[in-house]
Structure 1
Amino acid sequence: MTTKREVIRRPASLPQRMYEIHTLFHQFLNELQSRSPAIELPGYWIPNIDIYETNAAVVLEIEVPGITPKDFDFTIDGDLIRIKGEKRQEIQEEGSSFRRLERRYGMFERILRLPAEVSEHKVGAIYQDGILKITLPKKASEEQLF
Structure 2
Amino acid sequence: MHDYIMSPCSKHRDCINCEEQRCIKGDDVKLEKLIQRLERENMLVDGDKKAVEDGLLNADRHYQKRLITIRRCEELIGILSDENVPDDSVVKLSLASVSHLDQVMDKNHRKRLPKLDKHNREQADIATRKPRALTHYKRNKRA
Larger strand proportion of the pair: 1
Same fold (TM over 0.5): no
Answer 1 or 2: higher relative contact order, Cα 8 Å, separation at least 6.
2
Q: TM-score, normalised by structure 2?
A: 0.24
Q: TM-score, normalised by structure 1?
A: 0.24
